[in-house]
Amino acid sequence: MVGYLYDELFTKHDTGAHIENKDRVISIDESLRGMGLFKLRPQKATIEELEEIHDPRYLEWVKDAYSKGYRHILNEDTVLSPDSYEVALYAAGSGKSAIDAVKAGMIKRAFLNIRPPGHHAERNTGQGFCIFNNIALAARYAQKSGFEKVLIIDFDVHHGNGTQDIFYDDDTVCFFSTHEKENYPYFTGAQEEIGVGKGKGYNINRPYGNYCEDEELLNLYEDLPTWFDPDILLISAGYDLMADESISTARISFDGLRSLVRKILDFASDRPAIFFLEGGYNIESLSKSVYITVEEMLEYGL
């Protein structure tokens, strides 16, 4: 069985005409209907869990930010609406639902159709459409659930600067990211950024140039860290690298995406692999891409 998490509550983070809006998750949900997925129930992240990945001062600020009159975090990229904080707690807690189901022996694969996304949220602040770092919270929860070594793979076209920031000195969470060099957040994601202290060697960036095509991207995945031998894989699944997206110059085809997902699942083998929705803003391309991702997971039959 493949787990799937979605709830109407994720539409309540109201960003108006922003490209990161509720139509994204609604269209994905429609495209996955009838696939026979194992439904996961949403649950909230607790403050204690959030404090493991974010600065308590940021958590304190963001809790009351809307009622104090703030409508954005940092700049207009990241919108706050009346229910954003509450919805963000559910997005951050979504990985827990998948990990609990893995622990219970119900599933080995899951897709989390959630928003706001998370991979740009650093320890001290949300940014880049992200409020909390959903995948980082899941990594810590996985460790408490007995999956000690966590591999995070991030194929969103943008660098997962937030995830890198949170685990930069950590040798129990290995971060592998492919992303477009000349794109947001601009100042992170170089190949030379390999981690510090105990975490040295556990941060792997593989940036690519403009107009990246299938073969170039897939070749970068030859560098997945077989030496790390993770207990669980968490994937920041951002679909803004697809050819029909205007937010980057990458030109990944649907066949290329299928090969990428297969490569990741091959690498996972019989270990759990949980996909978290990050970017992807062309609604048609996004829903088709997620459909392909889930189709590949079902193909595996784990």
Chain contacts with Zn ion (rule: CB under 5 A): 156, 158, 238, 240, 279
Catalytic residue among 13, 119, 120, 159: 120
Cα separation, 91 vs 69, whole angstroms = 23
Decide: residue 88, CB within 10 A, 0-12 exposed, 13-18 middle, 19+ buried.
Answer: buried
Extract the tokens encoding 150: 């966590």
> Which phi and psi angles does 7 have, rounded to 5°?
-155, 150
Q: Is residue 120 annotated as part of the catalytic site, yes or no?
A: yes
By C-beta, is 151 or 237 nearer to Zn ion? 237
Cα separation, 21 vs 253, whole angstroms = 24
| Shortest reach from residue 159's CB to Zn ion, in Å | 9
Cα separation, 232 vs 146, whole angstroms = 10
| Shortest reach from residue 47's CB to Zn ion, in Å | 27
By C-beta, is 189 or 238 nearer to Zn ion? 238
| Shortest reach from residue 247's CB to Zn ion, in Å | 7
By C-beta, is 6 or 184 nearer to Zn ion? 184
Amino acid at 115: R
By C-beta, is 170 or 240 nearer to Zn ion? 240
Contact assessment for residue 152 and residue 173, using Cβ atoms and an 8 Å cutoff: yes
User: Which residues does the annotation mark as catalytic?
Assistant: 120
